[in-house]
Structures are given as structure tokens and as C-alpha cells.
Structure 1
Amino acid sequence: MRYLPLTSDDRAAMLAAVGAASIDDLFVDVPAAARLDGAIAGLPDHASELAVERHMAALARRNMAAGDGPFFLGAGAYRHHVPASVDHLIQRGEFLTAYTPYQPEIAQGTLQMLFEFQSQVARLFGTDVANASMYDGSTACWEAIVMARRITRRGKALLSTGLHPHYRSVARTMAKYTGDVLVDGDPALEPGTDWAALAAAIDKEVSCVVVQYPDILGRIDDMSVLATACQAAGALLIAVVTEPVALGLIKAPGEMGADIVVGEGQAIGVGLQFGGPYLGLFGCKAKYVRQMPGRLCGETVDANGKRGFVLTLSTREQHIRREKATSNICTNSGLCALAFSIHMTLLGEAGLRGLAGINHGRARAAAAALAKVPGVSLMNESFFNEFTLRLPVAARPIIHELAEKGVLGGVSLGRLYPDNDALANGLVVAVTETVTEEDIAAFAAALKEVLA
């Protein structure tokens, strides 16, 4: 039996209160092509629970999971080994059920974990402070742009062409409702970044410059010169990190002058998980801390002089007046932040550097092997564990042929930029510690065969 708590009169009163003539008026922003008009074709009206389970299991068996064969996918989501102890510890009842620590006297464990998490992120990013996490990297990127507008009182953001297109898409979606002007474009299939051009384009209307490090093509550049240009023009430099393991080897963005550093924490402790839930990381310079979205846990002492933890800043709309809130993000990815923090603790600084070294070494081996395939060339002059190959033909159909041979061979730029033919031959390949020499050999052999 359906549960319908509202009567027709209730609905009419609610619609009148918001100024809508009908329920359909609430969905005018959804494109007509995306709206369901009638029943879904091909689906039965009903089925037993057992029948549905069997049907869904049969569909799942058609998938190729990350561990089923050589795996080289990346482009913002990375397959790393997550120790079994991480999953064991996050499922403890006191962690699994913990939410917002409104009462610090009974939430010391949660607060301490978030404090340690913040300390790890700040150390990783090279920033003065970090918050207690956000939803994911893309929304953290947008929150950084809005934060820059509040600080500079300007409304134009320059987005590097090397910024992940999904992050750009999120920013464009949100900017429709804030009036921010976003200046962006697609990357060129060449070794150099566009950072020099960004520095030249900064004017008095620019609130921030957003760059990805390493970028969507795996390129790494020194942002010090760009940071200096931003500072001279009164704009902020925002660095986006989608692969935090890279910071075990390359210089932290905060150490090169970035004002705000955001990123995706999925690569450490969280796993791929079919696309989520993921973990947004956010750090900045101390002078901007009161404009930082989300929550900040702090360390203090109680009346007896004992160490304790409190919710120091909470600038979200649940806690203060809506018009004073810096963000409408009403939660943090607490469980994913815990997984990140546990994995980071298990690794330690030496372990993270060692893990990063393994990633880079195997990526170099893979790049060398794949570049020997006839017609294939390596675009990058520098990279961490992700690089871009130029193929002699469009990469997207090649990816499908590789999958039929049991190799998940990377992400085609044709998929990320479907309207840009100049990028169609580009293939982004990610290599982590989970990739073996046999995987690399299988990839090279399969690629040679499908290109023959």
C-alpha cells in the first residue's frame, strides 16, 4: 500500500506558497529530454524480489570489475590498494554511526579524528589550515571559487584548460545561479600547460585562477610564477589535486604560493566504489580561514587543563543565519574522511613517499613500453602516475576493443571532450601500485594488436 501523507488540498496550499501553478513547474529547469513521460519502456509492471535479484545479478556479471584484469583507468578516480585494516576500523560502531559532533563532551573521539584528518590534509597540501572535509573534489573546487569571490569581491574566474572537465561542468552549473563569469576552454594535446597564458590574462576583474596539479593530461608544472602573478593582481590561486598520492613526491601547492588547495581524497583509503561516495579535501592560508566553507575542529584544554577537541568554526547554514553562511554544504564525508585518515596513519610520511615512488616507477615503465607500440607516442615531458598517449586513430573505439580483450586501457579524451575532434586520438593512462609487469605487457600487446 502506498504511503501518501499529503492530500490534494495540502499540495495546492504548498504550491500556492511557493508561487507554482503545478507540480510540473518545480521541474522547469530539467531539460524536457531528461524528464520521464509515462512508463519506462522494457520494464515489467512488477516482479518478485527473487526474480529482480536474479536479473540484477545477471546484469552485474556482464561488467568487468577493476580487479578482473589489467586496469589503467584514472582521470580523477584511482585504483590503489586499501589495507583490510581500514575497512575493519571504519566499521566499528562508534565510527560508523557518528555524525555531527554537536556535543563535544560526548564526541571527543569523532572530534579528535577530524582534527587529525585536518592536520594530515594541511600537511599534504602545504596549507596553514584544512577543514573537516567536503562532499568531493568537484564541489570543493566550486566552493573555492565562491570563497575567492567573497574575499576579492570580484566575479570572474580563470579556469585552466587542464582542469578536469567534470569539475568545470560542476562550476558552470553552479555559476548559473551566482552570476560568476567563468573563462575556460579545452586543453591542447601538447606537453606544456597554459599557465603562462593564464598569468597574462589576469585583470582587475579576476577573483581567482584555478589550475589542476597534475592536470587532466598528467602534466606537472611549477605554479610559483603564476602565484606571483595572482598576488600582484589581487587574485587568488586555487590548486586542484585529484591524485593526492602524487604529493608524496612532488612539491605541495601551498609551498608554491597557492592560496586555496582543494582536491579529491578518494585515492587514499576510500577505493573506487563505482563512483562514490568520495571525499572532498579543502585547505587554505590561515588569513582566509573565516571564509572557508564547512567545519573546522580545534584543539584546546578543559577546565582541568586536559587536552580536548571542539568544533571551532562552523560556517554552514545549519549552524548560523543562512545569509551569513559561507556554504550550503550541510555535512562532511565523515566516514570517508576516517578511511583517509586511517590509511594515511598506516602509511606515515615515509610510507606515502614510498608508495608515490612505486607509482611513478611503474608509470615510467608503462609509458616506455606503450610508446614502443607502432604509431603510439608519449605526449608528456613530465608526469607522476598518469600520462597521455597519442594514438594514430581515435582512442574511444580502441578502448572498447581493448576491453573485449580483457584490458581496461585508460580513459579516452574523446569521452571527456566529445565535441573536440582535436583531442579524439588522446588516451589518458593511469598506473598505480596495483599494476604489475604482466599487466603492462598485456596492455602493450593488446594495444599493438588492435592498432595493427
Structure 2
Amino acid sequence: MRYLPLSDSDRSAMLEKVGATSIDELFRDVPEEARLKGPIDGLPMHASEMAVERDLTAMARKNMVAGEVPFFLGCGAYKHHVPASVDHLIQRGEFLTAYTPYQPEIAQGTLQVLFEFQTQVARLLGCEVANASMYDGSTACWEAIGMARRITRKSKAILSSGLHPHYVSVCNTMAKFTGDTLETALPALDDATDAERLIASIDDEVSCVVVQYPDILGRITDLTPIAVAAQAKGALLIAVVTEPVALGLIKAPGEMGADIVVGEGQSIGVGLQFGGPYVGLFATREKFVRQMPGRLAGETVDAEGKRGFVLTLSTREQHIRREKATSNICTNSGLCALAFSIHLTLLGEKGLTELAKLNHARACEAAGRLSAIPGVRLVNDSFFNEFTLELPIEARPAVHAMVENGVLGGVSLGRLYPGVDALKNGLVVAVTEVVSDADIHALEAALKEVCK
């Protein structure tokens, strides 16, 4: 039996109150082409539970599983080895406390891991303070722009051409409702980042400059000159890190002057999971802490002098701030943050550095072999574990052809930037520690075949 708690008159009264003429009008912000026009083709209107399980299992088998084929996809989501101990530990009873740690006396496990997570993230990103995680990297990026507007009281943001286009899309969507002006640009298939363009674009109206590090093409740039130029005009530098393992080798953004550092933490402790759930990282300078979205767990002592943990700062809309909250999408991804913290703890500082070295070495090996294929050019002069190739043919059909040979050979820039002819031959290849010699050989052979 369907559960319909509202009568027709109830619905009519609610629509009138919000100023809508129909239920469909509530979905007007969803693009017309993205809306279903009717039931999904191929699915029955009703079926037994056993039949549904059987049908969905058959559909799932059509997927090419990341762990069963040579895998070189990246662009913000990376396949790393997550120790089995991580999954075991996140299920322990100490962490199965309240979903939201409003009552510290019954949520000490949750609060302690959030406190430890914040410490790890702050150290990793090179900042003084970090929050207790966010939804994902893209929403954290937007929240940083909103935070810069509150701090500087200016509303123009300059986004690097190397910022992930999906992050740009999220920021553009949110800016429609805040009035922020976002200046964006497309990347070029060369080894130079747009640092000079960014510096030249900073004027007295700019609230922040947003730079990805390493960027969407895998290029690495020194953020220090951009930070100096931005701060000279009263603007902030926001650095975006989508591959935190890179920080085991390259300098942390906060150490180069970044005022806010955000990122995607999926690489550490969290599997690919077909795109989510993931975990957003957010860190900043201590003087900006009250403008930071999300929540902050702190350490204290109880009445008996014993160490304890509390929710120190929480400027969310559900709390006393209400409409004056810094954000309304800043619920922390608690379970993913826990997995991140456990994995990073197991690695330790030395382990993270060794993992990063292994990633870089494997990527260098792959880049050398692939760029030796006739007609294939390596775009980067610097990279961590991800680099861009310019193929002699369009990359998107090349990727599809490699899939037919059982190789997930990378992400085509034609997919990320549809309709941009200057980028259609670009292929972004990510190489992590899980890639074997046989995998690199398989990619080399598949790419040779499609580039004939």
C-alpha cells in the first residue's frame, strides 16, 4: 500500500504557500533533458523481491569492475589499496555512537576520531586548523569561495583553468543563488599552467583565486607567487587538492601561502564506490576559523580532570545560527572521515611518503612507455601520479576502443569538456600503486592498437 500522508487540499495549500502552481514547478531548476518523461524502459512496474535482486544483479554484471582489469582512471577519483583492517576497524563498537555528536557523554568515540581527523588534515594540507570533514571536494570548493566572500566582503572569484570542470560546474550552480561572479577559463594542452593569467587578473574586486594542485591535467605549479599577488590585493588563495596522496611528496599548499585548502579525501581509506560517498577536506588559517563552514571537535577535560572531547564550533543551519549559518550543506561525512583517519594512521608519515614515492615511480614508468608510442605526446613537464597525453586521434573513442580490449585506459578530455575541439585528443592517465607491470604493458599495447 502506498503511503500518501497528504490530501489534495493539503498539497494545494502548500503549493499556494510557496508560490508554485504545480508539483512539477518545484523541479524547474532541474534541466528538462535530465527529467524522466515516464517509467524507466526495461523495468517492470512491479516484481517480487527475488526477481528484483536477480534483475539488478544481471545489470550490475554489465559493469567493468575496477579491480578486475588494468585501471588508469583518475581525474578526482583514484584507485588505491585500502587495507582490510580499515573496513574492520570502522565497524567497531566504539564508533557506533550517535550519528551526530550533540551529546559528548555518549559520543566520545565519534568526537575523538573527528578531533584526530582534523589534526591529520591540518598537518597534511599545511594549515593551522581543519574542520570535521564535508560532503566531498566539489562542495568544499564552493564553500571556500563562500567563506572568502564573507571574509573579504567581495564577490568576484577567479578560477584557474586547471580546476576540475565538475568542481567549476558545482560552483557555477551555487553562484546563481549568491550573486558571486566566477571568472573561468579552459585549459590548454601544454605544460604551462595559467599562473600568469591568474596573477594578472587579480584586482581590488577579487575575493579569491582558486587553483587546483596538481591540476586537472596533472601539472604542478608553485603557489607562492599567486598567494603573494592575491593577498596584496586583499584577496585569498584557495588551493584544491583532489589527490591527497600527492602531499606525501610535494609541498603542502598551506606552506606556500594558501589561505584556505580544500580537497577530496577519497584516495585515503575510501574506495571508488561508483562515485561516492566521498569525504571533503577543509582547512584554513586559525584567524578565519569562525567563518569556516562545518563543525569543529575540540579536546578538553571533564570535572575529574580526565581527557574528553566536545563539539567546539558548529555554525550549521540546524543550530542556533539558523539563517545566519556559514553553510547549509556542511554535514560531515563521518564514516568516510573515520576510514580516512584510520588509513592515514596505519600509514603514518613515513608510510605516506613511501606510498607517494611508489605512485610517482609507477607513473613515470608508464609515462615514458606511453609517450614513446608514435604520434603520442606527453603534455606534462611535471606530475605526481597523473599525466596527460595528446593522442594522434580523438581520445574519447580511443578510450571506448580500449575498453573493448579489457583496459580502462584513462579519462578523455572530450568527456570532461564536450564540444571543445582543442582538447578532444587529450587523455588523462592516472597510475597508482595498484598498477602492475602487466597492467602498464596492457595499456601500452591497447593504446598502440587504437593509434595505428
TM class by shorter chain equals: over 0.9
8 Å CA contact 2:98, 2:106 repeated in 1: no
Give distance in 1, aligned partners of 2:29 and 2:450. Answer: 43
Any stretches of 5+ residues in structure 2 without a counterpart? Answer: none
Contact preservation (8 Å) 2:97, 2:107:
no
Equivalent residue, structure 2, for 1:372: 372
Counterpart position of 2:199: 199
Q: CA deviation at 1:329?
A: 2.0
Partner of 1:261: 261
Distance in 2, matches of 1:245 and 1:151, equals: 30
Taking the TM superposition and a 5 Å limit, the aligned residue runs for 1:328-347 are 328-329=328-329, 331-347=331-347
What secondary structure is seen at the aligned counterpart in 2 of 1:177?
A: helix
Query: CA-to-partner distance for each residue in 1:77-114, whole Å, 9 max, x for gaps?
Result: 00000000000111224424541111112211111110
Q: Is the Cα contact below 8 Å between 1:318 and 1:330 reproduced in 2?
A: no
Check whether the contact 1:96–1:335 (CA below 8 A) recurs between aligned residues: no
* Counterpart check, 1:183 vs 2:183: yes
Q: Residue 177 of structure 2: SS of its match in structure 1?
A: coil
Cα displacement (A) at 1:39 = 3.4
8 Å CA contact 1:117, 1:132 repeated in 2 = yes
Cα separation, 1, equivalents of 2:96 and 2:184: 40
Q: Percent identity?
A: 76
Q: Is the 8 A contact 1:396 1:412 kept in 2?
A: yes
SS in 1 for 2:239: strand
Per-residue CA deviations over 1:251-288 (Å, capped at 9, x if unaligned) read 00000000000000000000101100000000000110
**CA distance in 2: counterparts of 1:197 and 1:432, whole angstroms:** 31
Per-residue Cα deviation, 1:130-183 (whole angstroms, up to 9, x for no partner): 000000000000000000000000010000000000000000000001000000
1:318 aligns to 2:314 (yes or no): no
Structure 1's unaligned 5+ residue stretches are: none
Give the partner amino acid of 2:275: G
CA contact (8 A) 1:317 1:330 kept: no
Counterpart position of 1:11: 11
Q: Distance in 1 between matches of 2:210 and 2:446?
A: 37
User: Match of 1:294?
Assistant: 294
Q: Which residue of 1 aligns with 2:249?
A: 249
2:318 matches 1:308: no
Alignment partners' CA distance in 1, 2:97 and 2:53: 28
Structure 1: distance between partners of 2:262 and 2:174? 17
How far 1:381 moved relative to its partner? 0.3
Q: Which segment drifts farther, 52-61 or 311-320?
A: 52-61
Q: Which residue of 1 aligns with 2:421?
A: 421
Does the 8 A contact of 1:136 with 1:264 survive in 2?
Answer: yes
Compared CA separation, residues 438 and 42, structure 1 to 2 (3 A):
closer
Matched residue count: 452
SS at match of 1:196: helix
Q: How does 1:14-413 map to 2 (within 5 A)?
A: 14-96=14-96, 98-329=98-329, 331-413=331-413
Return the offset for 1:22.
2.0
AA at the equivalent of 2:104: P
SS for the counterpart of 1:211 is: strand
> Deviation string for 1:287-323 (max 9, x for gaps)?
1000000000111122222221111110111112322
- What CA distance in whole angstroms lies between the structure 1 residues aligned with 2:155 and 2:301? 41
CA RMSD of aligned residues (A): 1.2
**TM-score where L is the length of structure 1:** 0.98
